[in-house]
Amino acid sequence: MVHLEFYDGSGQTSCEELNEYMRQKKEILTRAQAGEEQYRDSLGWLSVDEWAGEERIAEIETFAKRVRDDGDILVVIGIGGSNQAARAVTCALPNQSKVKVLYAGNNISSAYMKQILAQLDGKSVYINVIAKNFETMEPGIGFRILRQYLRKRYGADYNSRVFATGTRGSELEALCVAHGYTFLDFPEDIGGRYSALCNVGLFPAAAAGIDIRAMVSGARDMEQNLKTAVGAENSAFQYAAIRNVLYQKGFRMEMLASFEPRYQYFNGWWTQLFAESEGKDGKGLYPVAVKYSEDLHSIGQFVQEGTPVLFETFLDIENPDEELILEADDVDDGFDYLNGADLREVNRAAFSATFQAHSERLPCVRLKISELNEYSFGQLFYFFEFACYLSGSMLGVNPFNQPGVENYKGYMFQALGKHK
């Protein structure tokens, strides 16, 4: 289970203050654990088994086996919440199948798309377009280009290589009916950024050979814990309270940090989750993420001596999985003090030193994770989704809408000549 610790060597926040805040906000936790009627259309993720129960997992595994048995490449076409979770997992964990997962439809760069296409020649290719309403331009462009590629290569049978994840009654489902594509449900009661544990995130992961049952098991265990634990015993509630107390004290940025670069795309998922959920009504912490130890040599300077506007949340893997011993060398390079050291121990020393130095100046949260694997990814996805629900409610915003993302589209569509 994810274990939370909070340190603030600057003395700006006390345990008593946090406990009092949680006491005042306890009804928010109670309502979230039950699921609020006002958010009923957005809480499909709250019960893991609703969209990741045995029947649905078996269906996902059947479809994924089709890809694994015959395919070399699966191109996932989607943007934002439609690809972030799958990318976080498939890029972090060892690929257990011969299928390589590529990601398209998440930008409008011709150079990037050409790089994707160049990797397809001579390979058996499948695509999975993911779009809740199929109105977003980036995946629309990606789907057209890759659909045309498949049709040119495979002829009339190309449609057997197309999986489309969308909502019932959408334009995407209509295309599946008209052209014989395989349709997977994008739950209507789950927003993109909360969609890690349904067809959206699980099908691409399963195609890559990821143990999605372990992911779901981790999420299910986290759900059980967070729906029963109260007060400070509830780690998501405590995390949400810390975020809001610090926001009230004038902090304006939260920085997610780890010493494991395999979390790179998970960082992107986390950033979108909190930015879209809380950044509204002139409120919200600005979420950013860093990769230590690399970023210690740049952003670390700001953390130690810059404007004190941020706090840090560290992901701490307690049992790293890859051993690498630094062997002695006959070149006098000045690093003999590391002879025989396990690189995991060196990384742990860097983590501990950084956490100590940073927490002496600013508030720091440590989230302890036992291992980096499918089970812990499932736990983290559910932990942060539930915490975001709580945190947005404490902040006084709707954690499930995103009206601001539409503002730029009017200007863009006008420039491109699209008329409603």
Q: Is the CB of residue 192 less than 8 Å from the CB of residue 81?
A: yes
Phi, psi of 70 (to 5 degrees): -115, -20
Task: Give Cα separations from 69 to 50, 94, 199, 241 (angstroms).
Answer: 28, 18, 19, 47
DSSP 240-255: HHHHHHHHHTT--EEE
Tell me how crowded residue 329 is: count the other CB atoms within 10 A of its CB.
11
Q: Which of 98, 283, 409, 418 is catalytic?
A: 409
Catalytic residue status for 420 = no
Q: Which of 276, 312, 374, 385 is catalytic?
A: 276
Give 229: exposed, middle or buried? Use CB within 10 Å, 0-12, 13-18, 19+: middle
Give the residue from 392, 378, 31, 15 showing the smallest Cα distance to 232.
Answer: 15
Alpha-carbon torsion (298, 302, 303, 309), positive or negative: negative
Catalytic residue status for 409 = yes
Q: Is the CB of residue 61 less than 8 Å from the CB of residue 212?
A: yes
DSSP 253-309: EEEEEES-GGGHHHHHHHHHHHHHHH--TT---EEEEEETTGGGGTHHHHHHHS-S-
Active site residues: 276, 409
